[in-house]
Structure formats: C-alpha cells, structure tokens
Structure 1
Amino acid sequence: MKIFCASLALSASLVFFNLVATPKTRAVLTSDGALPVATPTPLTRPRTVGTASSQPDLGPGASLHGRQIFPADNPWNQEISNAPVDPNSNQIIASIDADARLHPDFGTVYRGAPNGIPYVVVAGSQPLVPIGFRSYGDQSDPGPYPVPRNAPIEGGAGSDGDRHVLVIDRDGWKLYELFAARPLNNGMSWNAASGAVFDLKSNALRPDGWTSADAAGLPIFPGLVRYDEVFEQREIKHALRFTVQKSRRAYVFPARHYASSDENQNLPPMGMRVRLRASFDISSYSTANQVILRALKKYGMFVADNGPSWFLSGAPDPRWSDADLSLLKNIKGFNFEVVRMDRIVTK
C-alpha cells in the first residue's frame, strides 16, 4: 500500500509467506491463539463443490465454499458488463499504459515464498489481541482484533513490503485487515500502520477521506482471486483488485481515500473500475483462466493502490499453475475500458 501522507511510500512486496497447510486444511485453533501446522489435504481427494450455504473452513487460505462477501447489492458484487464507458476512458488507459501487460500478482511461490496476499479464516471464539497503530491511528478502527499468533503475513515474517494481514471471522462474519503488521510478544499483540474492520453483512463504507489497510480505503480481501472460487465454485461473483503506478489525487465511490498529489485528470482515481472488453476472445484460455476473465468482463476490477500497473491481486495457493496463470500476461491495457465514473472526489 502507498498512502500519500507525510511522504510515506511503501512499495508493494512481490514475495510472500511460506504456508505449510493448503487452503483445504482444517486447522484447529489453540487456546493461545496459534494456528498449529496441519497435514495438507491430498490434491487427489475428490472435491465437492460448495454451496453458498456451506460453512467456510478454518485456517490459512481456507475455502469459503461460496459464501458471499457483503450483501448482493454491494458495489463489489455489482455486475457492470453493460454499464456505460467513461468518456475519458482512452486517455486514462493510456496514462496507466495501454501496452503494458496484465500481471497476475499471485500464484504458488515467488523467490522462495508463497506468491499473493494471504488470509486466514478463524472461528468466533478466536481470542482478541491488542492492536497498536503507529501511523494512521486516527483513521483506523481500534482493536482488539482476532488475529492468531502466527497469522500469515504478506511477504513473510522478514518482509519489508506491505505486510498485510487479513483475518475473516466466519461466525461473526467480519473482516479484519492490517497494513504493515508486525507481531509483538510472540503474537500476543500486534502493531500496524493502519487497520480496518468490515462487517461483511453490511454495505457500510469507511468514513469519507479515511484510508484502510489499502490506499483507496477499500477492503482488500473481496478483491482477491482465490483458488476456492476458481476451482470449487468455478465462478467469481465479485470485482477484483489491481494497482497502478501513478494515480490521481481523487477517488470515486466506493473508495474513500486518495494516495497521490497529482491532479492530472487523465490519471486514474482510487476506486475507478475497469472491465475487460466484451469483444475480447477468451476461448483459447484454460478453464481456470476463463473463470478469471469472465469476472473481469462481468464485474471488472477496482484501482485499489499504487504499485506496478495492471498487477492483479490474488491469494497464494500451492495448487495454482504458475505457467497457466502467466498466459494472462497476453492481455494488455488496451484490452480494458473504464466504466463511467460519476462523482469524483478531489477534496
């Protein structure tokens, strides 16, 4: 995440934590809040496609079995395939780089660590721990948060990158997110630059002008490409998340915060949504990649942070095929168009 405030600029990390359990592992949480190492489920095990009424699993990268994030009428779940194109679409796409390639910023392993933004699903009984904020406490939701002692950190324990920590309480159906998170006292408390709590049963937004654990003031988790959706549900029913190298000093709904001082109107504001053009032929792609590409046509993706342009976010999983995901790089910026923006906030 990069937040334009007191010249803070933290580059997005491309290396991530090393998980032992796979997303199908059911980890039992201990009384002290730790997530013990569990035996991975064999990949040859017959898979049952979950339904929206199924209970999410517990543990790092756990399957949600189709349970919907946010209400059906939430912006993340809004279909935009027939929405008007923004009149400034071509100029904005050019400013992002029309010739740059889409980059799946997730997969199996990159430079020795799992590749993607991790998450962990916990039970409602997960112990709450104190959270201290060192940078944006005035724009953060106060703790305590139900963060396990060994919750997965983006980039791993030694990362100097964004160090996001995402926790989903499956019983309370709430999302807890931290930016630049570091465990203290062996994880009995945590320190972070910023943090946000989202009620996944509600459409409530952050206060106007507030950041979150992401630059745009949006939640991170709903915008991730996840293995369980691609291979179990075989459908992604929500918008995704991507980054741009240069953004505008502005934001549009549902974003609540900008991360730039540049007022160039051809630059993308935070919260801007793009979609893959309807005319783009996806028939030559694998079944898995077609799931992702259909979502990009139907729901699009939000500008959520500053970072390398056209980097599409997802959660790591050892079962991804990196070779197959890399074929998404054949898609370029000019294959996208900007969905019409209404009120652009520049204050």
Structure 2
Amino acid sequence: MTRRLPRAPGGRRAVPVVLVAATALLLAGCGGGDDEASGRTPVADVTIDPRGADGTIAPGERPYFAEDSPWNTRVDGAPVDPRSKEMMELATLRLGVRESGDRVVVQPRRIEDPVYINTESWTTPVVAGGQPTDVVCRQARCGDGDDTVVLDIPADIDPDPRYDGWFTILDSTESVAYDLWRARREDDGSISYHFMRKWDLDGPGYSPPHVVGARGSGLPLFAGLIRPGELQAGEIDHALAISVPGPAEGSFVQPASSTDGNGSADSLPEGARIRLRADVVPQPPIDPETGRPVRLTAQQQRLADAIVVALRTYGAIVVDRARVPTLYAQRDVTADLIRGNELQGLFLDDFEVVELPAQRHQYPPEHESAGSTSTGRD
C-alpha cells in the first residue's frame, strides 16, 4: 500500500468531577460528516485527578461492565480470521456516490491515513454529579426513555447539537449510565433528547442483535475510551473503541447490535475486534508539514507504549465509521498527555482481525424495515 501522510487533525465523572469524553471523530461523525479543521489538539477545558478527595477512584475511571464483557477480555491468544487481510483492505475503502447522467456511480477511495487519537470535536460530554435536572424525551419513541426522569447533571456542561447531541450521564449510585441522542439544554435548565439507551455498568456492555443505541453500531458511547487515570498509570486493561473508513454496510457482528456502515458488504463489520499484529514495530509519527519524524517526549512515548500494549492485548472493537482510522480518548486527556498524533506510525494494515463470531447479522433484519428498527432514531 502506498501511504500518504495526512494533515494533522485539529484539535465521567465522579461526584463532583466532570469528565468530558471524545467518543466520536474529529474528522467524521456518526452521520459521516467531515471536519477539515487542522492543527494540534487544543488543551481541553477540564483536567481531573482520577481519585477524589477521599482517595476513591472517580466513576469515570472505574472499570466498566462485567469481567467477561468483550470490553474486558484479552484477545492476544485468539485466532486470526481467515479473511483478515481482505477485510482490513476493504475497511480502508471509503465509498462515495455521484450522479453520471441517469446513473449513480459508486466511487471507492482508499484511505491511507495513519491512526489518529481523537480528543476533540465530535465529543460526548460524560457527566456525573451536579444538581437534580429533568431529563425528558421530545418525541413519541424514546428508546429506554419514557416519562421525565430526574438525574444529577452539572449546570455548566451541555450537549452539543452540532455532533448529534451525544450526551452520557453516569449514575454511580445506581451503577448505570444513560446515553442520549440529539440531546440539548432547554431554557428552563432541563435536558431534552430524541433517544435514550440505558446501560448497566456491571452488565455485558452491549445489546442483543437489532437493538439500536445512540451510536450507529448500538455500542455504548463511553465504552473503549482511553482515560487519563489509566494513562497516568501506564496500563490500559480493556479493549479500545475504533472507527474505520469503510465498515461493512448491511451487516454486523456482536457485540455490535446494529450498524451504520457504508462500505463494501464484505468489509470489516461493526462489532469486529481487530488487534495490532505481534510483528509490527510502531514507527515514529511523521510531521505532515516537514515529513520528518516527530520527537516524542519520554512521557508521550510511555503513554503511546501503553496504548500499543492495549492494542496487542485487548485489541479494539469497531464502533463506527470515520474519515480516518480513529481511536478515542476522553476529552480531559489533555495535550499534556496526548496530542493525537502519537500513533501516526500505525496504519490499518498493521492490524489483523480476530476470528469473527460464527453469525453475521443482517441489518436491518429481513422481516423489518429500517424505519421499524430505528426506535425513533430516523
């Protein structure tokens, strides 16, 4: 593969700390839109110590989901899927369409950009603590929402409507989290939304097939994030979330429960687990302006090494589509920890696909239309 060097992309909460997490792309969001901003990831507006005044770990740093959840199981000894190489190649193909006379022409474009760690732009505020706030659905079909619920939410953290209004509320007292879609702060201080998915923080971390979520794959918005406490400890003991340019259209594998893939039908499906190959030695990131290697500080290299170990040991679960291969860090992982380019010596062909589950689910299912399975996310 001929590799092009990209322009550098731009750029939970304990009670009462705020963790603002980046769970979507700087360069492409859930709807596939592009953001052409460039420059180094800016310093986030909130920095936290993962431990509270009482010495306990903040909810945003607690382990998410059951011990045997796909998010918490190792795959360094798992077999490689027989179609691994083919699926990884197809995952780099971003499909576009154009009209040519009376025909619609599909134009595949191979994305050769390296892996980017997103800490900004399409972000999901993940909050806990604050003041009692009404959370109310704005439409008839609300997912797990129904009547108005009252949750503790900081008054100064709002959903951003530009990025699908993604918003996650952690309720540490009940060990649950609420993912909201198209959420917004109303004039009366309440939070309204179009769709809610409720997650048991001690549960499996995914839903049964064909159950949709706030994210296109149905997976939690906050799962698989690179978090500040684990970076500072130099150890990440869970799978990461990753988006790829061309995930398969029309099918998924568990733990995904739906898909918004727009790639080849034979491509890497959402829900697949990929793993950094054991023979890959990560190369230094390259400055796109000068073409020279970027010198990482000792701290940056240590943190990059921790992520690499996680990618070899736990791998990454495909959660969405993106303009470039993208991992996600909490937004409060500041430039003092991650600038976003630390792994830009890695490319998708440095990864392999862990053997897929036997069943690949069609989406939407044959017996239902897309509208009837959307649960209000149309």
Instruction: Give me the TM-score of the superposition, normalised by structure 1.
Output: 0.74
Matching residue of 1:166: 168
What does residue range 131-280 of structure 1 map to in structure 2 within 5 Å? 131-134=136-139, 137=141, 139-142=143-146, 144=149, 146=151, 148=153, 150=155, 152-153=157-158, 157=160, 160-192=162-194, 194-203=195-204, 205-231=206-232, 233-248=233-248, 249-260=250-261, 264-265=265-266, 267-280=267-280
- Runs of 5+ in structure 2 lacking a partner? 1-22, 25-29, 93-110, 285-295, 366-378
What does residue range 292-307 of structure 1 map to in structure 2 within 5 Å? 292-307=307-322
Aligned amino acid, residue 66 of structure 2:
P
Is contact 2:246–2:262 with CA below 8 Å preserved after alignment?
Answer: no
Q: Does 1:330 align with 2:325?
A: no
Matching residue of 2:128: 121
Matching residue of 1:89: 84
What does residue range 21-36 of structure 1 map to in structure 2 within 5 Å? 21-24=46-49
Task: Give the secondary-structure state (helix, strand or coil) at the position aligned to 2:317.
Answer: strand
Task: Give the secondary-structure state (helix, strand or coil) at the position aligned to 2:343.
Answer: helix
Percent identical across equivalent pairs? 23
Aligned amino acid, residue 226 of structure 1:
R
Matching residue of 1:344: 360
Is contact 1:102–1:332 with CA below 8 Å preserved after alignment?
Answer: yes
Task: Give the secondary-structure state (helix, strand or coil) at the position aligned to 1:242.
Answer: strand
Q: Structure 1's 117 and 294: CA in aligned 2 closer, same or farther, altered over 3 A?
A: farther
Taking only aligned residues, the RMSD between alpha carbons, in angstroms, comes to 3.5
Q: Distance in 2 between matches of 1:117 and 1:239?
A: 19
Q: Structure 1's 209 and 101: CA in aligned 2 closer, same or farther, altered over 3 A?
A: same
Aligned amino acid, residue 309 of structure 1:
V
Matching residue of 1:44: none
Task: Give the secondary-structure state (helix, strand or coil) at the position aligned to 2:137.
Answer: strand
Q: Structure 1's 262 and 277: CA in aligned 2 closer, same or farther, altered over 3 A?
A: closer
Aligned amino acid, residue 47 of structure 2:
T
Q: Does 1:314 align with 2:329?
A: yes
Per-residue CA shift, 1:261-282, capped at 9, x if unaligned? Answer: 76621x1211111111112235
Corresponding residue to 1:290 among 289, 295, 305: 305
Offset of 1:296 from its aligned partner? 0.9
Corresponding residue to 1:76 among 65, 71, 75: 71
Higher strand share: 2
Q: Does 1:103 align with 2:116?
A: yes
What does residue range 39-58 of structure 1 map to in structure 2 within 5 Å? 54-56=56-58
Per-residue CA shift, 1:122-168, capped at 9, x if unaligned? Answer: 27xx5252321559x354444526252536456xx4x5223321221
Aligned amino acid, residue 344 of structure 1:
R
Q: Distance in 1 between matches of 2:252 and 2:150?
A: 28
Aligned amino acid, residue 119 of structure 1:
V
Aligned amino acid, residue 128 of structure 2:
V
Is contact 2:128–2:154 with CA below 8 Å preserved after alignment?
Answer: no
Q: Distance in 1 between matches of 2:213 and 2:236?
A: 24
Q: Which has the larger radius of gyration?
A: 2
Q: Distance in 2 between matches of 1:88 and 1:221?
A: 29
Matching residue of 1:36: none
Aligned amino acid, residue 234 of structure 2:
R
Per-residue CA shift, 1:160-185, capped at 9, x if unaligned? Answer: 22332122122211111112221113
Q: Distance in 1 between matches of 2:177 and 2:167?
A: 11
Q: Does 1:11 align with 2:26?
A: no
Q: Distance in 2 between matches of 1:56 and 1:71?
A: 18
Matching residue of 1:30: none
Is contact 1:222–1:238 with CA below 8 Å preserved after alignment?
Answer: no
Is contact 1:104–1:313 with CA below 8 Å preserved after alignment?
Answer: yes
Q: Structure 1's 118 and 289: CA in aligned 2 closer, same or farther, altered over 3 A?
A: farther
Per-residue CA shift, 1:262-310, capped at 9, x if unaligned? Answer: 6621x12111111111122359771111111111111111111122231
Per-residue CA shift, 1:217-250, capped at 9, x if unaligned? Answer: 111212111112111x321111111112322211
Q: Distance in 1 between matches of 2:50 and 2:324?
A: 33
Offset of 1:17 from its aligned partner? 11
Q: Structure 1's 251 and 160: CA in aligned 2 closer, same or farther, altered over 3 A?
A: same
Task: Give the secondary-structure state (helix, strand or coil) at the position aligned to 2:307.
Answer: helix
